[in-house]
Amino acid sequence: MKKVLLLGSSGSIGTSTENCIRRNPEEYQLVGISVNRSIEKAIAQIDEFSPEALVIGEEQAYTAFPHQQYKQTNLYYGVEGLRQITRELDYDILVNALVGSVGFEPTLEALKRGKTVALANKESLVVGGELIEDVLATHGGILLPVDSEHSAISQCLNGEDPATIESMTITASGGPFRTLPQEEFSRITVENALKHPTWEMGAKITIDSSTLMNKGFEVMEAHHLFSIPYDKISVVVHPQSIIHSMVTFHDGSVMAQCGLPDMELPIQYALSYPQRLPMDTPRLNLATVGTLSFEKPDLDRFPCLQHCIDAGKTGGTLPTVLNAANEEAVTLFLEKRIAYTDIERIIGNELAAHTPAPLSSVDTLMSVDKETRTRIRRSYCGREA
């Protein structure tokens, strides 16, 4: 039985992971969870799964949690609590479903212990991919993708010689504004942007999907996960979201992984790896789907995708700036402080103003991250991040 530490247990990935564990009680034991402020969700999970430990991110929620009623659960607080639980708890696999760069250090700490990490937190590799690659090389942990696109690539590569890989293609639904004229982007509201055509996700990743920033992050992830140059990774818009990714081999063969959009499949695949457990879910019927269509992404309308590729190629501290600027800009948009089109403008300005330096340590990463956030928050809120 695998002991599972689930960080970000109240979000959509956390809930889907919970379903996988519930479906296979003989395979998995949930030993630790984390929430930001959703203490009702945490209490329900404690009542059902009896985890040994809980991290609560927000101070107010931490104070409100009924400590006396749940004395059997070790309680941790904040970012330091995430570090502690990842360093100290006895677990076999970490499912990192945290949102944002706060997920980086738990990923790093788990891999330093030689643990298996099922990674849904894109930002871990976006901001610190170079550092994570170093830790993997020296500590022997295992990094498994949870994103449907990278899970698809992983499945296509299973048993294949890496030397035979010619290129990889990541698919994108295109988001809610795929066909919207660019001149109407300035009128996009928060409510418009939170309506994704395919997936049900949290607010931040839904906005990232609408700008194609999320897809750019996935290109950066693929580079680090599969040690493939950026020039050999492409993105194609596929509105039906049936083909999740493709790999082209040096003989011209193309292998694709297909399936109905359902995040529980890649989550369960990562949890059960290297096995494949059964799932009682609707099956893909291509005759019912009818048509699969593809088109190039419009980089003029969605420049965030190109920002990611350029930042990834440059490397060093530039991806950290990219991510911090994006997180702050998306937060400002969700708070209705800026227009939708300001998201890309803020990111572009921060990238242009930054002089990249080598990513020599976690301290360097954290310093650049804080400086970027502080600069943006001072400009738009009159306060530090």
Which residues sit in the known binding site? 11-13, 37, 121-123, 147-149, 173, 196, 202, 209, 214-215, 218
Angle between helices 213-226 and 122-139 (to 10 degrees): 10
CA distances (Å), 361 to each of 128, 138, 313, 357, in order?
A: 9, 15, 19, 11
Q: Where are the beta strands (DSSP E) in the chain?
A: 2-7, 28-35, 53-56, 74-77, 93-96, 116-119, 142-145, 165-172, 233-237, 243-249, 254-258
Binding residues for 1-deoxy-D-xylulose 5-phosphate: 122, 148-149, 173, 196, 209, 214-215, 218
Tell me if 249 sits within 8 A of 166, measured CB to CB.
yes
Output Rg (C-alpha) for the chain, integer angstroms.
20
Peptide bond into 274 cis (omega under 30): yes
Q: What is the C-alpha to C-alpha distance for residues 77 and 178, in angstroms, rounded to an integer?
A: 41
Nearest to 82 by CA among 120, 128, 36: 36
Write the secondary structure of 284-302 as one string of H (helix), E (strand) and C (coil): CCHHHHCCCCCECCCCCCC
How many helical (H) and strand (E) elements, i.e. helices and strands, does the chain have?
16, 11
Cβ atoms of 228 and 165 within 8 Å: the answer is yes
Rounded Cα distance, 40 and 55, in Å: 13
State the binding site for Mn(2+). Answer: 147, 149, 218
**Distance between CA atoms of residues 350 and 304, nearest Å:** 13
Q: How far is CA 243 from CA 150, 197, 267, in A?
A: 12, 15, 17
Binding residues for NADPH: 11-13, 37, 121, 123, 202
Three-class SS state of 172: strand
In whole angstroms, what is the distance from residue 265 CA to residue 279 CA? 8
- Closest Cα partner for 174 from 260, 236, 242? 236
